[in-house]
Amino acid sequence: MKKALFFAAVIFLITACNAQPQPLPRNADENSLLWEVSGNGLKSPSYLFGTFHLLCKEDIHFSNTLESALQRSSTVYMEMDMDDPATMLGGMMYMTMKGGKKLRDFYTEAEYKKLEDYFKNELGTPLALLQTMKPYFLVALFYPSYMDCKSPSGVEQELITLCKEYKKEIKGLETIQFQASVFDSIPYEWQAKELLKNIDSAASMKTEFETMVRMYKNQELDSVSALINKSEFSDDKYGDILLNNRNKNWASQLDTIMKKESVFVAVGAGHLPGKQGLITLLRNSGYTLTPLENKKSKGKSEVAATR
């Protein structure tokens, strides 16, 4: 499923405890969005958390276990340093196609008219304002229209608020420049065709998005991985560029980072499962990955974020 590079996170507070931290509750199976990383010479555990880039704000809450893991960590790592104003301000510049390319360059008159009508009628956005943006970034604008809430947010966005409460420094595994370069390595012509394909398959896209949200809220990591691999909207042709190569790079960075300090790593949930996901990559590097219980009391699920 196409991954929108837009932002997110959640709010709450807890008081630090001077006593020796007790072990966090383990999960009975591996369907959890929150994982403890230990062993392989680590002095203290780190934590891995799968986020979702766009949810209804009212669905975003964090479990006590997650807050405790965050509190125990020295630093928070996200895909990008999203509390840095330079990241956000530079985003628009790096979303622009190189070489003076414009959307009109990739479509026939009829195709462009279809695109223009969809953005105007379904998204309420004049396409003329988006002429120079990389086509793949524009897919991110579709998702709010699939949602039944008036206040979409993101898990990362709310998590940033929580980090500020705990005075946790946020760092990025990638820069906005690097993420933009990923999309420069994928031909604009191919991106343009995919954008049009998504419009032609809008109903299926909405259904798949709703399915992904449900899986995330239920913390069904195995199902998330299967959907990514089998989806008609999956990026098989450029899967290594968009997902697998980035996972390998992050795992390599974390191998160094975690030996220096305990960190809380929050990246898109699609990066966690699968043979080339972060859980497997870190296990293959000798670490012990343990799923943590990420639920409300009385057994009610609080999916990564959802009560």
83-114 pLDDT per residue, tens: 777 666 666 677 889 999 999 999 999 999 99
**Res. 3 pLDDT band, cuts 50 70 90:** very low
CA–CA dist 121, 186 (Å, integer): 29
pLDDT of residue 168: 96
Token pair listed for 149: 């809430």
Is there a contact between 219 and 250 (Cβ–Cβ < 8 Å)? no
CA–CA dist 44, 248 (Å, integer): 23
Could you give the dihedral angle defined by the CA atoms of residues 78, 84, 85 and 88, in that order, rounded to the nearest 10 degrees?
A: -20
pLDDT of residue 227: 77
Name the nearest CA neighbour of 281 among 257, 247, 242, 256. Answer: 247
pLDDT of residue 230: 63
CA–CA dist 3, 180 (Å, integer): 13
Provide the sign of the torsion angle of the four alpha carbons 294, 296, 297, 298, taken in this order.
Answer: negative
Q: pTM of the full predicted structure?
A: 0.84
